Amino acid sequence: MILEMMRAIQIKSQKKFIDEIINITLLSKQIKNQEKATKIYESCIRYIFNIRDDIEVEEIEEKVKEVSKE
Protein backbone atom coordinates (compact mmCIF):
# COMPACT_ATOMS: atom_id res chain seq x y z
CA MET A 1 0.00 0.00 0.00
CA ILE A 2 2.79 2.44 0.84
CA LEU A 3 4.57 1.78 -2.43
CA GLU A 4 1.36 2.35 -4.36
CA MET A 5 0.91 5.69 -2.57
CA MET A 6 4.45 6.75 -3.38
CA ARG A 7 3.93 5.84 -7.03
CA ALA A 8 0.63 7.70 -7.12
CA ILE A 9 2.35 10.94 -6.15
CA GLN A 10 4.21 10.87 -9.46
CA ILE A 11 1.04 10.69 -11.58
CA LYS A 12 0.66 13.98 -13.43
CA SER A 13 -3.02 13.69 -14.38
CA GLN A 14 -5.25 14.81 -11.52
CA LYS A 15 -8.03 12.40 -12.56
CA LYS A 16 -5.67 9.41 -12.79
CA PHE A 17 -4.14 10.38 -9.46
CA ILE A 18 -7.54 10.49 -7.75
CA ASP A 19 -8.49 7.16 -9.37
CA GLU A 20 -5.31 5.60 -8.01
CA ILE A 21 -5.99 6.96 -4.52
CA ILE A 22 -9.46 5.41 -4.71
CA ASN A 23 -7.91 2.05 -5.63
CA ILE A 24 -5.48 2.35 -2.72
CA THR A 25 -8.34 3.25 -0.38
CA LEU A 26 -10.21 0.12 -1.41
CA LEU A 27 -7.04 -1.93 -1.00
CA SER A 28 -6.52 -0.60 2.53
CA LYS A 29 -10.01 -1.80 3.51
CA GLN A 30 -9.03 -5.38 2.61
CA ILE A 31 -6.13 -5.52 5.06
CA LYS A 32 -6.92 -7.71 8.07
CA ASN A 33 -5.37 -5.48 10.73
CA GLN A 34 -7.60 -2.45 10.12
CA GLU A 35 -6.15 -0.37 12.95
CA LYS A 36 -2.65 -0.62 11.52
CA ALA A 37 -3.88 -0.20 7.94
CA THR A 38 -5.77 2.96 8.91
CA LYS A 39 -2.71 4.47 10.59
CA ILE A 40 -0.53 3.75 7.57
CA TYR A 41 -3.20 5.04 5.18
CA GLU A 42 -3.68 8.28 7.14
CA SER A 43 0.07 8.91 7.28
CA CYS A 44 0.40 8.37 3.54
CA ILE A 45 -2.55 10.62 2.77
CA ARG A 46 -1.09 13.40 4.94
CA TYR A 47 2.19 13.05 3.11
CA ILE A 48 0.50 13.19 -0.29
CA PHE A 49 -1.41 16.35 0.59
CA ASN A 50 1.81 17.96 1.76
CA ILE A 51 3.47 17.11 -1.57
CA ARG A 52 0.61 17.68 -4.04
CA ASP A 53 -0.96 21.12 -4.05
CA ASP A 54 -3.29 20.44 -6.98
CA ILE A 55 -5.61 18.11 -5.06
CA GLU A 56 -8.07 19.04 -2.32
CA VAL A 57 -9.15 16.69 0.47
CA GLU A 58 -12.78 17.27 -0.47
CA GLU A 59 -12.17 15.91 -3.98
CA ILE A 60 -10.82 12.65 -2.59
CA GLU A 61 -13.58 12.36 0.03
CA GLU A 62 -16.26 12.87 -2.60
CA LYS A 63 -14.82 10.19 -4.89
CA VAL A 64 -14.34 7.73 -2.01
CA LYS A 65 -17.97 8.19 -0.98
CA GLU A 66 -19.11 7.56 -4.56
CA VAL A 67 -17.08 4.36 -4.80
CA SER A 68 -18.12 3.19 -1.32
CA LYS A 69 -21.78 3.36 -2.33
CA GLU A 70 -21.14 0.94 -5.22
Mean pLDDT score, 33-59: 85
Q: pLDDT digit string (tens) for 14-44? A: 889 888 888 888 888 888 888 888 888 888 8
Task: Tell whether pTM > 0.85.
Answer: no
* The pLDDT value given to residue 16: 92
Q: What does the alpha-carbon distance between residue 45 and residue 62 come to, in Å, rounded to a whole number? A: 15
Using a pLDDT cut of 70, give the percent of the chain over it.
96
Domains in the chain: how many in total?
A: 1
Q: b/e for 8-27, b at 16 or more Cβ within 10 A? A: beeeeeeeebbebbbebbee
Which domain range does residue 21 map to? Answer: 2-69
